[in-house]
Structure formats: structure tokens, C-alpha cells
Amino acid sequence: MLYSKYEWRVKAPDHHTAQWLAKEMSLSPVVASLLAARGVLSLEDGNRFLYGSLELTHDPYLMQGMREAVPRIRKALEDREHILIYGDYDADGVSSTSLMIQLMRELGASYDIYIPHRANEGYGLHNHALDWAHQQGVSLVITVDTGISAVEQIAYANELGMDVIVTDHHEPPERLPDAYALINPKMKTCPYPFKGLAGVGVAYKLAQALVGEPPKEWLEIVAIGTIADLMPLTGENRVLVKQGIESMRFTRYEGIRCLLEVSGVHVEQVTAVNVAFAMAPRINASGRLDHAGRAVTLLTTESREEAERLAFELDALNKDRQQVVETIVQEALEMVNAKWGERLPSVIVLAGEGWNVGVVGIVASKVLERFYRPVVILGIDPESGNCKGSARSIPGLDIYEALNSCRDVMDHFGGHPSAAGMSLHRDRLDEFEHALQQFADGVLREEHFTAVCEADLECSMSDVSLPVIEQLELLGPFGMANAVPKIIFRDVTVQEVRKIGKEGKHLKLRIAQKGQQIDALFFGSGHLADLLPAGTVMDVLGEMSVNEWNGSRRLQLLVQDLRVSSRQVFDFRGTPEPLSAIKRWRAELAPYLQCSADKSAVVYAKDSHPEIKSQLYDMCLWVYDRNAGIMPDNDVAESKPKEDTSVLFVLDIPESAEQLDAMMKAFHNVPNIFMLHPTRNERERLLIPSREQFKQLYVLLAGMASSPVPEQEAVAQLKRRTSLSSRMLAKALDVFEELVFIQRSKGWITFVPKPEKKPLDASRHFRELSNLADMEQHLLHAGTEQLTQWMMSRTKDVS
């Protein structure tokens, strides 16, 4: 049984509305159902959602501060003032800065740009940068994607005689800066109807106010920043991004074209998903490991040669970033285990010396995905003791609000309900962690720690033909608040399974349902290959897509989650280092096996694994016992109910069928059994005894042991003449001795000429041999399917 990582919640379909939309808009039932699930209830809403254009965007002058900002910028243009565009180092900041460069070029302005270095300077306005700007003759500063919290810095700019226009979209603090103009739709006093713009979206509204109708290609830059900053692709954002993606398919920007090409994306087929997973990480890599200015140059250069060089540089930086992230994630996971074990707090706060502050946000996301609770990751400068970090949160906790509750502990913080950044000194880390925990404990409840995946639809594979999935693209662009539709298929059967990609990191399946077959990919889940043998019946949740290869278009499912409802036996007989394998599986498969230490049991032969108590000390350890069948071998096993066991690891086979039955009875409800016992040499194989075999042995013994003969010599002769194993012959002699057909004494055996006639099954040894041979036949020599069926039948027999 494999548990799903998420709790699946299927949206209740509005069948009446879906049928009406399908008829009125000529849509397939599947697409119409998905449209209704997105809140489309009328023909007008449907046309706006599917075919909305720039006419649906709002008047930029509805935004507070715009009527002050535009005349000030126009005055600066007339007077040839030197303008500074002050941006940020993430993809939204890079896009915002790049868009403003396009605007400045369009307006013929005298301008400079400044983006702080993530590691050396950190987020936001800095006084030393304002000093530099003042020396350059700047009299007007326009911030993009930053500035709403820069109270002291803008006051300093005012002292220097520079006006500051802030364009931002982050959560405004209680005290706002005294800027010449503040443009942020999230300000409480701002009447702008759409609050979900990215920083680049706000910058675009300023451009609209200044030039009327900006060139359509500027929307390509808007799309990049909006998608990368995980802004909701609804309302105005949906229109802006959709138009931007359409323009991007014919882009004239050399940087965008080269970046798509180096990412392996066909320019003419680019989607919002490609921007999110191919372009955005490479743009962000510039600011994470180097300086974001390189990405700005890429997006604004008109030179193909320069664009190619920069695109390859960003691609290389992204590869380096991936390695840095992987290293820190492993260190963070080890830290979690050492600090808390399996008793995790409401908020995970981790800090490490030398951790690259450019990637701590990504690390936080990965740690959150592993443990599903809010995470704060901080990098510590070992020389200054200053910490810079990023937080990622779950829906139950507004992380910005949580940070605001302990703002006195930090030097600076800012962000959104789901993601934020902060800086503080290492001396205050304990105080910071305690304050965050206290706030989170008052907000979060147990149900908040269950990851939920909202599925849009449950249907059969026959319902999702290629034309249906092609029509599904009308619902794009897909991203935040308008996710790629997730569909559940139940009772699909695995036809083929294999690992693909570097080091077998990914999983490829061929699945079938009622005669329909499709390929399925599960990225990052190659480790599940051995747990999904052909024939496994499971439920899957995923996203449908079209795979294009050599002119052929085929459906494929991108799996997000899966579950197997039936009990399973996993055949890993002969695993060379079983204790290490158990630790690895528990780490890799925890979400699917729910194998916390106190719910994981190990059964083994006494003294067979001397190191087990030091390596698996926190698990329930059991040993075989001649009298009781199995016995607890540590305190954890004694204290935890066997009924709660979720996974059983069998390290050794029992000595008898009675011990096997005792084990199966004790763990008759366990969902998953891992068979890890060593295999045995075929020459030591036991056969289920037959009367013909014993009759033959009896005749042979009569001919060689009429006078005492060494037992070792007798066994050797019998082995040559029967091909039975030494073990089998030794146990046969036990039967003959018990029935008084032979006598044994000090290593010698003697045949009894006229023994009392007794049936073979009157011998306890004969019955034990039969049961033991049958057990070993299945445990040691049967194929995986036969072993599984036999283990399941034994469980039923003893339950």
C-alpha cells in the first residue's frame, strides 16, 4: 500500500453549468467542466476568460500616486534630469528594471540603473547606493519591485535633494515612506480594482500612463516577471500574461529567444509553464550566484552575439545553483533530524554558516515540500554574524504576519503571506525562533499540516482524447490561481515501469484503464520504480499534456501524486546492505509508506545483525524465538502496539513455519512488507518430502548401514545417489531416527532391520520438514508474484 503525499480534494462539479457551457461555447464536456470549476457561470464570463484582450485592463490612473508620478517624470524628461531606476535582484525585479529600460529608451531619458547585490547588500534601498546616485547627478529615483518599506532610506534621499517615486507590490507596512509618489495597488487607500499585479505589472501601468499604448512586445517582459513571482494568473494578470506569451512566440527580443533556446524550449510553442520552469530559474540564477545585472542586460540587449553568450552564462549559473541548492538541502535535512528527529515544531527555522543567501528561498521551498510546514532558512556570515534568510509558508500561516509579530528581533523584513525575507544578527536567532514558534503555535492546528492537492476533475482515460487536451489549452496561461488542471484516474494498471534521466531520477510508466493506454512521467520519483511492478493497480493524480516528438503528438500524464490501496509485498531478497537500505527507504519513501520510526518494525534472527541496535535504535526491533515465535528486542517494540505498524522489514527467514505464522499473526494488518532476507545456495535447498523419496532413501540406507557407518560418509553417499542437498538428507535422517528406522550414536548410524511400521506423517520431524520446505520454497526460490501471493495467503490464514 502506498499512501498519497497529499490529501486529494476533488472540486464538486456543476454538471448543469458545464453542460450548458459545452453546448453554448462548443466545448468538450471535460473542458466545460473545468471552466465551470474556475467560476465561469455565464457566456459573458466564458468569453472574457477564454478570449479576453487588453481592453479588459484597467485605467492606470485609477492607481493611487499615478497622477503625481507622471507629471514629475515628464518634468524630468523636459529638464533632462538624470533618472535612476532602482530595481531588485529576483526575476520580477529584473523584469521590472528591464521594462523601465525600454520605457526610458522610448522616452529618450537620461538614466542609470542600480540593482543591489543579493549577498553583499541585500534587498531594498541602501543609503550608499543613494550616495552614489547623488554623485552621478541623479535628481529622480524610480524604484521598481521595491521601496514600499524604505522609510529611512527615502528620508535620506529627500535630504540629498532627490525625489523618489516608488512602484512596488509588496505588502505595505504600517508606516509608509515620505516619497514623492507611492504606487502600490496593495495600499489600503489605493482604489485600483486589481490587487494582484507583480512588480513588473505595476511598472507596466506606469508605462501605460506615460506612453498610452506601450509596444506589445513589452508584455513579454511583463509575462516573465508576473509568472516568475508567482502572481495569480487571474483578472488583469491573465490578460497581460496571455498577450505576452502570444507575443513571445514571435519574439524580437534576442535575449528572450536565446534564453528559450538554451532552455530547450521551442520559441513558437512557449507556454507560461515554460516561463516558470525554464526561463525564470535561469534569470533568478543571475541574482542568486552572481549579479542580476547580467540578466537585465540579456533581456535588453539588441545584439544576438551578446544574447547568446549571456544565455549560456545564465544556463551555467543555473546548473551551479542547482548543485549549491542540493548541498544545502542535504545539510538542512540532516540538521532537522539532529535537532528534532520526528517531533517537528510548528515552524522549522534553520541557519548555517556559509549557506549561500542567494538560494535560501529555494532551499526553504524544498524543506517545506519534505515536511509540509513553514520553513525559514538563513545563511550566516561567519565574520559579521549577520544572517539573511527566506521563509516559505503553508496556507494556514501568513508568514508576513508572523514576521511582523516579531519585527523587533530583525533588522529588516518584507514579503507576502506565503514567502518573505528577513535579516538579523545571529545573537538573536534563538529569540527569533522562539517568537515565530509562539506565533505559529497560536495559529496552526493539526489539520494545517496535511498537504492538500485540489483536483479539478475525476474521469476515465477514455474521456481525455488528444483533441480534448488540445482544446484544454484555451484555459491557459496556467500558473498561480489558474493551475494546470489536475485530473484523477482511478484503478489504472501499471503495464511497464522504468527509471529515466540522470542517475534514474525520474519515473516513466505505461498505464492502462479499460483498454486505453498512455505514458506517464513522474519527475523526481525514480525511487518508486521498485515499488510499482507491472500489474500494480493504483489511483493517479496528474496533469495531461501533449508530447511532441519527430512530428508525432501523443498524450502523456505528468503525475503529481499516486496511491496504491492494496497491501503489498516488496521483493528485495538478497539486498547486500539491508540496514542501510532500510534507512534510505525510510528517508526517500516516508510520504508514501508513512514509516515513522515507531510505526516501522524489523524482524530478524537473534545475533544475525550485531550492529542493528546502534543503526536502527529508534525502530521496533523483533527477533525470532523458538517458543514464542517472535519477541521484542528493544524498548520501542515493547511499548508500541503492533497494530499500528505501517511497514515491516524482514531481514532473515524464520527457522520454522511456526515462527513465520507467529510473525504474520503479530503483523497481520501491516500494509507493506519488505522481504530483505539473504538468498540461500541452491545446493542447500529443501524439497517438500514425498513418500517415494523416503522409500528410496530407506532402501539405500538398508544397503549401506546394516553395520554402523559414519553419518558423514552415509550422507555423502546418499547425496551422490539422490542429488538431494546435505540439509535435506540430514533432516530425512532426523525423521528415520524418530521413527526408529535408524539409530544414531556419536556420529555413527545403524540401520534397524525390522522396525515397527509407522506412517511418515506420524513423525514430528517429517511434518516440520514439509512445512519448512514449503516455506523456504516460497521465501527463497519463488518468483516475486508467487512470493507476494503466498505471503498474502499466509496473512489471511492467521488473521
pLDDT digits (tens, 9 = 90+) for 569-604: 999 999 999 999 999 998 888 889 988 888 999 999
745 with 703: CB under 8 angstroms? no
- Residue 764 above 80 pLDDT? yes
Smallest CA-to-CA distance from 537 within 574, 494, 506 is with: 494
146 with 124: CB under 8 angstroms? yes
State the pLDDT at residue 551: 76
Cα dihedral 290→294→298→303 (10° resolution): -130
Q: Grid coordinates in use for 73?
A: 517624470
Q: What is the C-alpha to C-alpha distance for residues 70 and 181, in angstroms, rounded to an integer?
A: 9
pLDDT cut 70: percent of the chain above it: 100
Q: What is the C-alpha to C-alpha distance for residues 209 and 474, in angstroms, rounded to an integer?
A: 30
pLDDT band of residue 552 (cuts 50, 70, 90) is: confident
- Residue 264 above 90 pLDDT? yes
Select from 1.10.10, 3.40.50, 3.30.1060, 3.90.1200 the CATH code of 568-679+780-798: 3.40.50
> For the chain, how far is it from start to end, CA to CA, in angstroms?
18
User: Average pLDDT for residues 635-645, to the nearest whole number?
Assistant: 91
Q: Grid coordinates in use for 652?
A: 532473515
- pLDDT tens per residue, range 396-447: 999 999 999 999 999 999 888 999 999 999 999 999 999 999 999 999 999 9
Q: Grid coordinates in use for 8?
A: 486529494
On average, the pLDDT of the chain sits at 93
State the pLDDT at residue 591: 86
Q: Where are the domains of the chain?
A: 7-49+454-563, 56-316, 344-428, 568-679+780-798, 683-762
Residue type at 25 in one-letter notation: M
Rounded to 5°, the CA angle 585-587-588 comes to: 65
pTM of the model: 0.83
- pLDDT tens per residue, range 688-719: 888 888 999 989 988 887 788 999 999 999 98
739 with 758: CB under 8 angstroms? yes
- Residue 799 above 70 pLDDT? no
| Residue 384 backbone dihedrals phi, psi, to 5 degrees | -90, -20
- Look at 200-214, 553-567, 753-767, 783-797 and tell me which has the smallest mean pLDDT: 783-797
- pLDDT tens per residue, range 171-216: 999 999 999 999 999 999 999 999 999 999 999 999 999 999 999 9
- pLDDT tens per residue, range 347-402: 999 999 999 999 999 999 999 999 999 999 999 999 999 999 999 999 999 999 99
User: Average pLDDT for residues 138-166, to the nearest whole number?
Assistant: 98
Task: Say if 56-316 and 344-428 have the same CATH topology.
Answer: no
Residue 641's contacts (CB-CB under 8 Å, 6 or more residues apart) are none
Q: What is the CATH number of domain 344-428?
A: 3.10.310.30
Q: Which CATH architecture describes the domain 56-316?
A: Alpha-Beta Complex (3.90)
State the pLDDT at residue 118: 87
> Any idea which residue has 501523443 for its cell?
554
User: Average pLDDT for residues 466-487, to the nearest whole number?
Assistant: 93
Residue type at 375 in one-letter notation: V
Residue 627's contacts (CB-CB under 8 Å, 6 or more residues apart) are none
Smallest CA-to-CA distance from 679 within 643, 652, 644 is with: 652
Q: Grid coordinates in use for 47?
A: 468569453
Q: What is the CATH number of domain 7-49+454-563?
A: 2.40.50.460
State the pLDDT at residue 798: 63
Smallest CA-to-CA distance from 454 within 560, 367, 538, 564 is with: 560
Q: What is the CATH number of domain 683-762?
A: 1.10.10.10
